[in-house]
Structure 1
């Protein structure tokens, strides 16, 4: 299905109409409303709201952006299942609705037009949310220059369009973003992290994080966190004479039995078998440095001596 894209003229500031930050309580549902010449933009801040635009259903979550074009009808199709918040604003400008069949139109931003798709998710969208908050402040304050809200709206639209344009320009951008998340998890492995904690750190929705992480790594967030801990455990098995229970604790596993089951499942060796298999290739640095790629170090040792069947049978 072709996605519609809004081409907005920025030869001059757009005309600001109204805006607000809406808090939807449990069970809220958007009433039906038809736009005239104005365009509305909704930016999800928290929770989840269920909106329908011209017959198409959208779920707006944290960081999602939904654009309702002129003369379109918006309504809710489900009640909210948890408290939710979003910023909304209306504006008027020289606009043309296009079908997104030609990607180069969106990629070739000019100083005359910007492009906003019907629906997209902000990547590293802190600047856009700050810009939206600034619009709310400007629009609801007394300013000597009456067009201040027009300029604030234009700046927000440029920020949103730029975020989308960067995503389209840099295909590897999402992978770079995932790498940032992976590195943060690795450095924070001593904490009892939940997916929600990671999502909050990167200002994205937890469900969205789960989906893009799986798409880009082939692992769930939980699986990656366990891999980081297991790499640390392997490192300690290779560099210390600490007991299995001590290594489980130092690798941030609360339950030693769970640690041993997981280790056997992932490595196909018990922790003791693993230690015996590489007993002559101990690494000489016993300090776990967050700046060191432990996974790479451990892989180097493992590749230097693949375990034999005899190793696997030792208890």
Structure 2
């Protein structure tokens, strides 16, 4: 498997990103990546991508990382509608790429020696075990347009996203290899969500003592079973706020809260915003599809932050700006 190691002693530089939707019979336009890395997070549909000579089938809840100086194109039309987030960024430090067996690399990524190097290592393509949570992170990053003096918030949010992807990748392998029991509990909770679901009912149905369940769940997830229940509800409510026009009352019911008042109070505690404030703050991101190709000017801060060769590469996007 091919891996990329990013050094985050300095934040990466956010370039552009958005959400792409297309009906069936779509395939990715040919382009040449010059200078930047791209992350694609598939939400629905199938994306058939060829990166240089290697072909990939990107399925829902999968991430693919496209390195610079590579030819990219769709090699086959999609059979169903496609929806994905796309994000371009420039590292400020040299990126190491290498090939290794996943069984060898995972223990290394968990070591304290590795973590001390400020390295974030990710495979070229991998599954996301927490797609709803990751979708919220992508959406919030791409909707952010605030800037404070010389600090570009999206640079830091993009760096934080890389860290989140790294933690998700390493942690989910830990679950898959050693904690299948917890994964089965989480799957059961997701499949049986309701406004009345509680810890006693969960413990009974997964055939575990309540106290034991709470203890091991806390050990391997960092949260109690009840906190996980609330987390799932807040994630669902956040997605509905961002991606639908449902009313707050409708979302309260759809996200399994017993009353709108309880929903609004809990949402404010967990996110720091009321549902309406959250929707207004994060609802707008760049939307494009197979018939719309946005023009995005290259920010001067990027030109000033990287070498002349890469600066010349960036100008390419002023003329070839299709995801």
Q: Considering the TM-score relative to the shorter chain, is it more than 0.5? A: yes
Give the Cα–Cα distance (whole angstroms) in 1 for the partners of residues 156 and 184 of structure 2. 34
Partner of 1:158: 163
Partner of 1:137: 143
Give the SS at the match of 1:23: strand
Partner of 1:96: 96
Q: Kindly indicate whether the alpha-carbon contact (under 8 Å) linking 2:44 and 2:59 is maintained by their aligned counterparts in 1.
A: yes
Give the SS at the match of 1:82: coil
Return the offset for 1:143: 2.2
Cα deviation, 1:220-267, whole Å, max 9, x if unaligned, reads xxxxxxxxxxxxxxxxxxxxxxxxxxxxxxxxxxxxxxxxxxxxxxxx
Q: Kindly indicate whether the alpha-carbon contact (under 8 Å) linking 2:189 and 2:202 is maintained by their aligned counterparts in 1.
A: no
Change (3 A) 1:291 1:89: closer
Cα deviation, 1:108-158, whole Å, max 9, x if unaligned, reads 3514111110010011233322111111011xx242344211001101111
Give the Cα–Cα distance (whole angstroms) in 1 for the partners of residues 193 and 84 of structure 2. 32
Out of 99, 107, 112, which is 2:110 matched to?
107
Return the offset for 1:179: 3.4
Question: Using CA pairs below 8 Å that are at least 6 residues apart, which structure has the higher relative contact order?
Answer: 2
Q: Kindly indicate whether the alpha-carbon contact (under 8 Å) linking 2:21 and 2:83 is maintained by their aligned counterparts in 1.
A: yes
Out of 142, 149, 152, which is 1:147 matched to?
152
Runs of 4 or more above 6 Å deviation: none
Partner of 2:42: 44
Q: Kindly indicate whether the alpha-carbon contact (under 8 Å) linking 2:3 and 2:99 is maintained by their aligned counterparts in 1.
A: yes
Change (3 A) 1:174 1:74: farther
Give the SS at the match of 2:79: coil
Out of 176, 181, 188, which is 2:182 matched to?
176
Give the SS at the match of 1:177: helix
The unaligned stretches of length 5 or more in structure 1 are: 189-288, 297-315
Give the Cα–Cα distance (whole angstroms) in 2 for the partners of residues 49 and 163 of structure 1. 22
Change (3 A) 1:158 1:293: closer
Partner of 1:123: 129
Residue 73 of structure 1 pairs with residue 76 of structure 2 = no
| RMSD over aligned Cα atoms | 2.5
Change (3 A) 1:40 1:295: closer
Give the Cα–Cα distance (whole angstroms) in 1 for the partners of residues 65 and 180 of structure 2. 22
Cα deviation, 1:7-46, whole Å, max 9, x if unaligned, reads 0001011111111110122111001222122111100111
Change (3 A) 1:67 1:183: same
State TM-score, norm by structure 1. Answer: 0.55
Give the Cα–Cα distance (whole angstroms) in 2 for the partners of residues 174 and 56 of structure 1. 32
Q: Work out the number of aligned pairs and report it.
A: 192
Change (3 A) 1:169 1:143: same
Change (3 A) 1:6 1:186: same
Change (3 A) 1:61 1:107: same
